[in-house]
């Protein structure tokens, strides 16, 4: 990326050169964009400031809230180590870092299906604020450079490696897990067997801080330890996949149980609702029957009162009739 910028500046016409010589400072947005480009970050992107932010960006890019158990540890390790490296002022993005990132993902995600491996790799790169396409392109270009060089001396004298050699010595280049993996991946491409001696030669040729060389030896020892145990790792990965499938089956069974339980509860709720409706209907029927009974009683009472009044009226009329009859006789 840096060489592209230099070539772009060199290809500008002389009139533009005069403008460049005016020494007027670039706008802050341009300076920020140039800094992002030199560090490997695309337009509008920036490195995560914390490991937690890197993980959040990973899952956002991955599109799922989890990864397979046999990949989770690697994802956490690479995100954590790379995030802590790239936020350092002395970090420099280069093709070796790109190659190492790609090689680590190919190695430690080898047991995952290809589509999943690519998705996890792209999500890791995106979470670090970089472009997956650009990083993979830089890694492929460095592989081609090593293939064309053919020898250790030619590769160490190639342009990508000389750029690393030209980095400022104070502060020294920030070492990262991915950079070390890139160095160890390059060695076999020029028929160099990775070893402590080879690491010393390459660190010396590239004028890398010896302390960083010790870190590279430490990582090399870790890789060496993991080599003879690859079959065990694969067996463990297979066991994790079986456990994952069992967990998925258990989850599906739990979902089915939950579905049936919900159906049972729904039926129970429906039954209770029907019973309540029946009770309400019974209460309404009883209230209606009581109301009808009260209406009939009231009607009967009214009829009884009317009959009594008619009897009293007839008695009074009879008394009046009797009195009139007695008065005529007198």
Angle at 38 between CA 169 and CA 157, to 5 degrees: 55
Question: What DSSP designation does 130 have?
Answer: B
Residue 95, burial from CB neighbour count under 10 angstroms (0-12, 13-18, 19+) = buried
Question: Rounded distance, CA 183 to CA 89, Å?
Answer: 21
Structure tokens given for 178: 């991915």
List, as own/partner pairs, every contact residues 271-277 make where C-beta atoms lie below 8 angstroms and the sequence separation is at least 24, other chains included: none
User: Distance from CA of residue 246 to its chain's centroid?
Assistant: 23
Question: Rounded distance, CA 327 to CA 330, Å?
Answer: 5
Structure tokens given for 87: 């936020």
Among 99-103, 184-188, 215-219, 222-226, the range scoring the smallest mean pLDDT is: 222-226
Structure tokens given for 138: 């830089």
Q: Rounded mean pLDDT of 206-219?
A: 94
Instruction: Find out whether 165 and 206 touch, Cβ atoms under 8 Å.
Output: yes
Instruction: Report the interhelical angle of 114-127 vs 132-149 (nearest 10°).
Output: 100
Asked whether residue 222 carries a pLDDT value surpassing 90, the answer given is no
Name, in order, each residue with C-beta under 8 angstroms of 42's C-beta and a sequence gap of 6 or more.
Answer: 36, 129, 130, 131, 134
User: pLDDT tens, 153-176?
Assistant: 999 999 999 999 999 999 999 999
Among 72-81, 106-115, 280-289, the range scoring the smallest mean pLDDT is: 280-289
Query: Is the link from the previous residue into 171 a cis peptide, with omega within 30 of 0?
Result: yes
The half-sphere exposure of 234 on its side-chain side, counting CA atoms within 13 A, is 8
Question: What DSSP designation does 229 have?
Answer: T
DSSP H/E element including 311 = helix 230-329
Count the helices and strands in the chain (H runs, E runs).
14, 0
- What pLDDT, on a 0 to 100 scale, did the predictor assign at position 213? 94
Instruction: Find out whether 104 and 178 touch, Cβ atoms under 8 Å.
Output: yes
Asked whether residue 227 carries a pLDDT value surpassing 60, the answer given is no
pTM of full prediction above 0.95:
no
User: pLDDT tens, 290-315?
Assistant: 777 777 777 777 777 777 777 877 78
Question: Rounded distance, CA 160 to CA 96, Å?
Answer: 8
Cβ neighbours of 285 (radius 10 Å): 10
- What pLDDT, on a 0 to 100 scale, did the predictor assign at position 214? 94
Question: Rounded distance, CA 137 to CA 264, Å?
Answer: 57
DSSP H/E element including 210 = helix 210-226
**How much is the mean pLDDT over the chain?**
80
Q: Which of 89, 88, 94 is nearest to 40 (CA)?
A: 94
Per-domain residue ranges of the chain: 1-38, 45-228, 247-318
Question: Rounded distance, CA 156 to CA 150, Å?
Answer: 11
Asked whether residue 29 carries a pLDDT value surpassing 60, the answer given is no
Tell me the DSSP string of 148-170: HH-SHHHHHTSHHHHHHHTS-SS
């Amino acid at each position: 990326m840096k060489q592209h910028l230099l070539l772009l500046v060199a290809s500008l016409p002389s009139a533009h050169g005069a403008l460049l010589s005016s020494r007027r400072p670039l706008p802050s947005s341009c300076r920020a964009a140039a800094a992002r480009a030199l560090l490997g970050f695309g337009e509008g992107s920036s490195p995560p400031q914390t490991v937690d932010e890197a993980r959040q960006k990973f899952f956002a890019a991955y599109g799922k809230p989890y990864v397979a158990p046999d990949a989770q540890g690697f994802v956490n390790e690479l995100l954590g180590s790379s995030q802590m490296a790239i936020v350092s002022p002395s970090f420099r993005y280069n093709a070796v870092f790109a190659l190492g990132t790609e090689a680590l993902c190919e190695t430690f995600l080898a047991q995952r299906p290809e589509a999943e491996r690519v998705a996890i790799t792209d999500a890791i790169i995106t979470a670090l604020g970089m472009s997956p396409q650009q990083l993979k392109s830089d890694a492929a270009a460095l592989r081609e450079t090593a293939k064309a060089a053919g020898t250790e001396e030619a590769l160490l004298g190639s342009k990508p490696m000389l750029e690393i050699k030209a980095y400022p010595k104070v502060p020294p280049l920030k070492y990262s897990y991915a950079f070390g993996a890139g160095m160890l991946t390059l060695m076999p491409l020029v028929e160099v067997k990775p070893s402590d001696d080879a690491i010393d030669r390459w660190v010396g040729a590239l004028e890398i801080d010896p302390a960083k060389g010790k870190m590279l030896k430490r990582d090399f020892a870790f890789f060496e330890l993991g080599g003879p145990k690859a079959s065990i790792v694969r067996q463990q990965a297979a066991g994790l996949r079986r456990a994952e499938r069992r967990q998925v089956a258990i989850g599906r069974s739990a979902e089915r149980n939950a579905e049936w339980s919900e159906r049972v509860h729904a039926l129970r709720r429906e039954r209770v609702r029907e019973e309540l409706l029946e009770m309400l209907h019974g209460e309404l029927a009883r209230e209606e029957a009581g109301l009808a009974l009260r209406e009939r009683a009231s009607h009967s009472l009214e009829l009884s009162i009317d009959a009594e009044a008619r009897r009293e009226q007839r008695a009074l009329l009879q008394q009046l009739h009797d009195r009139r009859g007695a008065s005529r006789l007198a």
